[in-house]
Structure 1
Amino acid sequence: MTAPPHGTRQGASGAQLPDTQQGMRRRNLSRVLHAVAAHGPLSRAAVASRIGLTRAAVSTLVDELIRSGLLDELGPERPGRVGRPGSALAISGRGPAGIGAEVGVDHLAVCAVDLRGEVRARAVRQGSNRGRSPEPVLKELLALVRQVNTEAGREGLRPAGLAVAVPGLVARDTGKVVHAPNLDWHDVDLAALLPGKLPLTVDNEANFGALAELWLGDEVPQDFLHVSAEIGIGAALVVDGRLLRGTRGFAGELGHVPVRPDGPACPCGGHGCLEQYAGEEAVLRRAGLAPGADRVGLLTERAAQGDRDVRSALREAGTALGIALTGAVNLLDPRSVVLGGALSRLAPWLLPPLEAELERRTAGTACGVAVSRLGSEGPLLGAAHSVVRAVLDDPAGVS
């Protein structure tokens, strides 16, 4: 992990703030807000104890956060105890909200998450986006964003930023989708096609899924490989609590790792890629089933009923996943592998062959495999929470 540039310090979640008196104030505002978000409700004295500042300094910071509408005072903390109780502080349920959006192959989704991490508004449009030009798809997405903003506004929330998850390669620190094979999009500048005043972030859906797992998952370590799948298969590596993005931002394209180089052609231009064996449509083909509105639900239902063709297709998918993951595990040595997206619902049938391949092929001791409780919600929640985390990291920057 690289150190921040000289003359800066990192905020509570890694944001870089200037090493000046003003920068120190902004960092301390962030520390107070993060403490209450993680452990609240808390009194001023409890916050001061947690972050190592004087109560007087914390009171000044708290007053500023209350004036900004980011903290609420709930009244006396733990009434009835000996001594004068402090006033309990909590994250406000009004004010800034993170707007997350997802462009899926067969759906669009948008949600608003408040600073407490609660989803306050949601809109979904089902329907295939494969082969459609970006302009009408993004026009529909903007309509959903406006719908969610309106609904959230009725509850006293205002959007602090928009983060969009897409199933493809996104150039680092830009809004450009370089290639999304399952959408057939090439060099699409979402920043230009999603006009507005909100700060915009665009990232790969697997990256947002991994961040959601890191922030919202159950006892997830700071080092793990997150794998998610629907039509395609993506992965993201978290090291020391941060995404490993790669030089261009393209790290994690597990779905296009060849598991059988002489296998079928893939939309990416290669042959025998993992997606051709473990993607939803590939499993349906091998099971002799036609794609429907709920592909994973169909596979889960048939597998639970003992359908031999479905179970055989899932065993083959699990084996292919194990082969691809073995290379990643041997190269990267993560503490664990987390299965998210559609894979989480199919885990009972995918895990045995997957774990068998890891055990057989891993150079050292095979790492553990966990199943995400977030499932297919991960990318959308990760996108919205990335905006929330930006507010918590720099509350002074919220207008």
Structure 2
Amino acid sequence: MHVGVDIGGTKLLCRAVSASGDVYRELRVDTGPGCGPGQLDAAIDEFVGSVPAVRTVGIACPGLLSPDGARVVVADVLPQLGGWRPRALDGPRPGCLVNDVRAALLAATVAHPQDDELAVVVVGTGVAAGFTSRGHVHRGADGWAGELGSIPARVTGSTTTTTLDAVASGAAVLRHLEMPPAEVAARAADGQVDVVRVIEAAGQALGEGLAALVNLVNPRRVVLAGGTLAYPGYLEAALSSARRHALPQHWAACEVGADEDPDTLVVRGAVQAGLSAGLPALPPH
């Protein structure tokens, strides 16, 4: 079995996958700003201990990692994780720690091997991106390239400049509406105007960020993922906005759309990352 772990700002998702790529077991645990290393280590250790014959462990985490991938440097959405090294990586089996968007990019490259100019954008508690050029991951000088959520953005109906994270992310939607994700989704599905308006405004802001990415990087494909895409109307607003703001030639050369299972792209990449110790890749499930 191979274990992948997706640590996010609101949830921890653990997945065990067989050598043939079939999902054996999953576990979801709530996280949040107060979630610390002890809670995560305990949940991951318990899950790994419940899976027979674990051969590899890949752990995907938001934020900036040390250049050697040994520990978390800083994670804005989980502020207690600074300096953390997952205990599961010190076990007898091969394992690795990887940035969550880098994990998503790995899963996307496995799913789309024909696209060597590929970008992923993950929209969860925050917004981040990763991309390849001629099949090589663009890492940046310190390995921290892709902080799309930190680019400047305008607050709707205002001249105030903030960041894309602050206006387009899942956290931005929840902060504006002051209600939990399930209630946001339910009210949006019922067509509640105030909720729909907030979701669509966030999606439009993401679209402007997508247009900037498309114009700068000129990818062949952009794969979108993350739990925020599940809000009714968000993805549609983002794609419409991106189409309006991107250069027509760049947009025409690029296929932009959500992954077939946006909420699991990161954990699928975490599984693949755990296999990086020389084991063959699994099928793209």
- The answer as to whether partners of 1:255 and 1:273 remain within 8 angstroms in 2 is yes
Cα 1:283–1:236 change in 2 (3 A) is: same
Q: Look up the equivalent residue of 1:391 and give its one-letter code.
A: L
Give 3-state SS (helix, strand or coil) of 2:24's partner. strand
- Work out whether 1:166 is the aligned partner of 2:61: yes
Distance apart, 1:100 and its partner CA? 0.9
- Work out whether 1:306 is the aligned partner of 2:191: yes
1:243 to 112, 126, 137: 137
Residues 7-50 of structure 1: per-residue CA shift (max 9 Å, x gap): xxxxxxxxxxxxxxxxxxxxxxxxxxxxxxxxxxxxxxxxxxxx
- Work out whether 1:324 is the aligned partner of 2:240: no
Per the alignment, residue 254 of structure 1 pairs with 148
Distance apart, 1:348 and its partner CA? 4.1
Q: Look up the equivalent residue of 1:359 and give its one-letter code.
A: R
Cα 1:352–1:290 change in 2 (3 A) is: closer
1:372 to 220, 242, 259: 259
Q: Look up the equivalent residue of 2:129 and give its one-letter code.
A: A
1:385 to 254, 272, 284: 272
Q: Name stretches of at least 5 consecutive residues in structure 2 with no aligned partner.
A: none
Distance apart, 1:289 and its partner CA? 4.4
Q: Distance in 1 between matches of 2:142 and 2:259?
A: 27
2:227 to 322, 342, 345: 342
- Work out whether 1:122 is the aligned partner of 2:16: no
Q: Distance in 2 between matches of 1:348 and 1:220?
A: 30
Q: Percent identity?
A: 27
1:214 to 104, 109, 113: 109
Per the alignment, residue 131 of structure 1 pairs with 34
Per the alignment, residue 164 of structure 2 pairs with 274
- The answer as to whether partners of 1:165 and 1:203 remain within 8 angstroms in 2 is yes
Q: Look up the equivalent residue of 1:225 and give its one-letter code.
A: A
- Work out whether 1:104 is the aligned partner of 2:15: no
- Higher RCO (Cα < 8 Å, 6 or more apart): 2
Distance apart, 1:162 and its partner CA? 1.2
- Work out whether 1:315 is the aligned partner of 2:204: no
Q: Distance in 2 between matches of 1:99 and 1:142?
A: 11
- The answer as to whether partners of 1:225 and 1:236 remain within 8 angstroms in 2 is yes
Residues 47-75 of structure 1: per-residue CA shift (max 9 Å, x gap): xxxxxxxxxxxxxxxxxxxxxxxxxxxxx
Q: TM-score, normalised by structure 1?
A: 0.62
Q: TM-score, normalised by structure 2?
A: 0.84
Distance apart, 1:262 and its partner CA? 11
Per the alignment, residue 284 of structure 1 pairs with 174
Alignment of 1:40-59 (within 5 A): none
Q: Look up the equivalent residue of 1:120 and give its one-letter code.
A: Y
Give 3-state SS (helix, strand or coil) of 1:213's partner. helix
Cα 1:113–1:383 change in 2 (3 A) is: same
2:91 to 174, 179, 196: 196
Q: Look up the equivalent residue of 1:384 and give its one-letter code.
A: V
- The answer as to whether partners of 1:102 and 1:164 remain within 8 angstroms in 2 is yes
- Work out whether 1:230 is the aligned partner of 2:134: no
Give 3-state SS (helix, strand or coil) of 1:276's partner. helix
- The answer as to whether partners of 2:209 and 2:242 remain within 8 angstroms in 1 is no
Distance apart, 1:358 and its partner CA? 3.7
Cα 1:239–1:113 change in 2 (3 A) is: farther
Q: Distance in 1 between matches of 2:212 and 2:115?
A: 21
Q: Distance in 1 between matches of 2:88 and 2:269?
A: 22
Q: Distance in 1 between matches of 2:172 and 2:24?
A: 36
Per the alignment, residue 179 of structure 1 pairs with 74
Cα 1:141–1:185 change in 2 (3 A) is: same
Cα 1:98–1:391 change in 2 (3 A) is: same
- The answer as to whether partners of 1:100 and 1:383 remain within 8 angstroms in 2 is yes
Q: Name stretches of at least 5 consecutive residues in structure 1 with no aligned partner.
A: 1-96, 265-270, 394-399
Distance apart, 1:391 and its partner CA? 1.0
Per the alignment, residue 140 of structure 1 pairs with 43
Cα 1:256–1:111 change in 2 (3 A) is: same
- The answer as to whether partners of 1:263 and 1:273 remain within 8 angstroms in 2 is no
